[in-house]
Amino acid sequence: MVVSPELELARQLIRLQSTPESRNQLQVAELLADRLDAAGFDTTLLTYGDHHGNVVARWGRPDIPAVCLSGHLDTVTVVEDDWSQDPFGADVVGTRLYGRGAADMKSGVAAIVRAAEMYVAASRPDGPPIVLVLTAEEEVGSLGAAVAAAEPGLLPDSRVLLISEPTSNQPVLGHRGAVWLDLVARGRSCHASTPELGDNAIEKLMDGLRVLSEWCAANPTEHKILGPRTLNIGRLDGGVLRNIVPDHAMAQLDFRTPSQEEQATLSDALAELLKDRVTVEPVLSLPPVYTEPTDPVVHLFREAARDHVDLTDEPAVARFFTDASVLTARLGMVPTVICGPGSPDQAHVVDEWCDTAEIEAATAIYLNMLHKLAASPG
């Protein structure tokens, strides 16, 4: 089997564990920082916490806005007993590359890095600039992107943002935002045989969830392309034993919001709605991202992809959120396209895989896109 440079890099990245519980996530960032530095980029490794790092690598003229390509370096966790393949072996079986991160999204990172290297090798030193923003902790709420965005002077002016999340190489134009909230009910414990002497926190939480469900049904929001607001009650916790009235209960909520305005106001609105029942504790708020299909960048990107993938008739949107929720606004509300190798259905699953041909196609799409953007007016 002939192994392309981008496939070899993807395998190398998969073999470096970067799950939330691993202690060597920084090694992924260090590997890529060294590689991009050797390719001629002006590279910054921004470390934070005990073992996290972002890479920002720029090449080209510093006085004009850059094309920004971004991907995250972390993955979700692994329960190895469920896998038939070694989740960190990066084995290729037939045309499939297996491993945690094969789809989400180390193959996409390998493709943008390889495309950037080839673009630099074929361009003038004073050519149109590009910047790579490779982030930590996207899977737990785009924390690395937020650290990078808050660092003064780190992210340069940009004209376009590409996020290399798995979309089967279909260019997609955005996604809903995410609002994560905890509902917390507090009561008073006592013996279960005399519940009237206590205050049952689980009952208060259930009442709050009922009111919330009725409010959601009566106050829907929807975007013509991004779709409706959704709510998932992801976790419930409360009580100690069946014969003790619980004094504490908690529900973890995940809203996906199509509206910028609602994303900014939802937490306060629910706090007011539920104030006599539970406390609303904000955890995460990431805005939606959307680029109109008529934007010239969308047309250019679809032209760049046309020779490498059967395009859908109309550009789609992603069902997951990405670091674009942080980076698009930080870069000046730039046109944003999400496009990368691997099926979105493979994200976070057992025996995760990506078709090797898609990794090579993504590299070609990104390189084609960079050259087309270089040739187009800023």
- Residues annotated as part of the active site: 74, 138
Q: How far apart are CA 88 and CA 55, in angstroms?
A: 22
One DSSP character per residue, 46-66 reads EEETTTEEEEEEEES-TTSPE
Q: Which two tokens stand for residue 47?
A: 């470390």
Q: Which of 354, 336, 188, 180 is nearest to 253 (CA)?
A: 180
Q: How far apart are CA 258 and CA 176, in angstroms?
A: 5
First-last CA distance in the chain: 41
Q: How far apart are CA 359 and CA 80, in angstroms?
A: 25
Decide: helix, strand or coil at residue 87.
Answer: coil
Instruction: List CB contacts of 225: < 8 A, sequence separation 6 or more.
Output: 173, 174, 290, 317
Q: Which residues of 1-31 are buried (b: 16+ CB within 10 A; e: fewer)?
A: eeebebbebbbbbbebbbbeebeebbbbbbb
Give the relative orientation of helices 356-375 and 106-121 as an angle to the nearest 10 degrees.
40
